[in-house]
Amino acid sequence: MKRIDYVEPIPLNRLALGAIHQYVKGKAVYNHGLLIEAFEEALCRYLKVKHCLCVNSGTTGLMLAIKALGLKGEVIVPSYSFCGTVHPLAWNGITPRFIDIDSKTFNLDLNQVKRNITPRTSAILAVHMYGNPCDVEALGALAKKHGLKLIFDAAHAFGSRYKGRLLGAFGDLEVFSLQTTKVLTVLEGGFISTNQESVYKKLFLLRRQGNRGDGNCVDVGLNARMHPLAAAMGLAGLKVIDKNIQKRRKLGECYYSLLSKIPGITLQEINKFADYIYQDIILLVDDDVFGLSRDALACQLEKRGISTRKYYHPPVHRYSCYSHLKTPSPLKVTDHVADNIVCLPFYSSMSFGDIEYICQTIRKIQSNHAAKSIKQRVRT
């Protein structure tokens, strides 16, 4: 039986392997900070942003970002996201104010953002969900009007563009993940991008445990530094990133073309101003039309060797650790999307043949179920 895993093998190309070998073989090990600085400078050039600060994970990056911006009280945030979006708020003593998402883009619902700004609100933490850019201009205008900080969780979004501009320079800062499933990966790591000098200086200090360099800690920071081997991998990955993104877009467009023809399947609507990297291929399953529930479809695909994920189920507001918080209003769209979404295998090294096989399999599963349903109705 054909087997298609959800996650691709780690892409250790010859450039990455060469960089790692150069690091471990000699004197370079004593100059590990230079590799990280070189990666940060390369990221700045690529994204056309003034400052990038590498960290050991996207979650840690958000923890530092929230502290650097001096946030207090409440922060507006989607519940439909990875826990790493919300946990950094709690770690900083801030109350997440969960609000609903748009039913088509799965990004923050702007009307809900407007309705939920209170005197306790200090910031908006928006997520470019699955790499699909938020309406950064509308969110920026709203934050400015109310004197709020604006953070973008860009964990999924390296390489995505909004009106021709690469994400990375919007809001007060953006935080990226470079974990194994991302378009640019260093196995485990992330970085923060900002155009604000004062914010960058604060982040730089916090990343080294608040130590200003003379042994005296002037703030309570973390050891959040990226490993130099990760930086070496990142530098190698940047050299081929545009080629990978171009291939990924072609593969994603193929997926969308084939899946859009299947009744009962809804695909994420991409921002009309976006150049999208197709970080993930996600299906919203309407069991009344499709004939099977999301869970039943995932089970049938697994039996046929196709691995899937249910991102993000359950949504964060239903986690036990946040059960003490009351949502300001029912998160109907969030609950519906989380309970009916399934993510298909997708990565840059995938073949068009594998994509066609997956889509054909979904069609066959639906057809077989429909045929069984007809036979059952005839018998009764």
Give the per-residue pLDDT at 9: 62
Report how far residue 380's alpha carbon sits from residue 375's, in angstroms, rounded to the nearest whole number: 9
Give the per-residue pLDDT at 19: 66
Residue closest to 94 by CA, chosen among 322, 319, 323, 315: 322
Q: What are phi and psi of 190, to 5 degrees?
A: -170, -175
Higher pLDDT among residues 288 and 13, named by residue: 288
Find the DSSP H helices in 215-351: 228-238, 241-259, 287-290, 294-303, 332-340
Contact 134, 107 (CB under 8 A): yes
Give the per-residue pLDDT at 32: 54
pLDDT tens-place string over residues 256-290: 999 999 999 999 999 999 999 999 999 999 999 99
Spatial CB neighbours of 45, under 8 Å, sequence gap ≥ 6: none
Report how far residue 316's alpha carbon sits from residue 244's, in angstroms, rounded to the nearest whole number: 32
Show the domains of the chain with their CATH numbers. Answer: 14-238 (3.40.640.10), 241-369 (3.90.1150.10)
Residue closest to 250 by CA, chosen among 362, 346, 357: 346
- On the question of pLDDT at 167 being above 80, the answer is yes
pTM of the shown model: 0.93
Contact 206, 67 (CB under 8 A): yes
Contact 13, 186 (CB under 8 A): no
Amino acid (1-letter code) at residue 96: P
- On the question of pLDDT at 348 being above 90, the answer is no
Give the per-residue pLDDT at 26: 55
Amino acid (1-letter code) at residue 258: L
Q: Residue 146: enclosing H or E segment and its boundaries?
A: helix 136-146
- Alpha-carbon distances, residue 299 vs 67, 292, 307 (angstroms): 42, 10, 9
Q: Give the tokens for residue 253.
A: 């467009």
pLDDT tens-place string over residues 201-221: 999 999 999 998 888 999 999
- On the question of pLDDT at 182 being above 80, the answer is yes
Structure letter (DSSP) for residue 88: H
Give the per-residue pLDDT at 208: 93
Taking residues 231-251, report their average pLDDT: 93
Under the banding of pLDDT at 50, 70 and 90, the label for residue 378 is: very low
- On the question of pLDDT at 155 being above 90, the answer is yes
pLDDT tens-place string over residues 104-135: 999 999 999 999 999 999 999 999 999 999 99
Share of the chain above pLDDT 70, in %: 91
pLDDT tens-place string over residues 295-310: 999 999 999 999 999 9
Q: Give the tokens for residue 190.
A: 């992330």
pLDDT tens-place string over residues 88-106: 999 999 999 999 999 999 9
Contact 165, 32 (CB under 8 A): no
Q: Is 178 exposed, middle or buried (0-12, 13-18, 19+ CB in 10 A)?
A: buried
Give the per-residue pLDDT at 354: 96
Give the per-residue pLDDT at 246: 95
Give the per-residue pLDDT at 25: 63
Higher pLDDT among residues 134 and 5, named by residue: 134
pLDDT tens-place string over residues 314-337: 999 999 999 999 998 899 999 999
Q: Are strands 281-285 and 274-275 parallel, antiparallel or unpaired?
A: unpaired
- On the question of pLDDT at 30 being above 50, the answer is no
Round the average pLDDT of the chain to a whole number and report it.
92
Under the banding of pLDDT at 50, 70 and 90, the label for residue 12 is: low
Residue closest to 6 by CA, chosen among 280, 299, 307, 302: 307
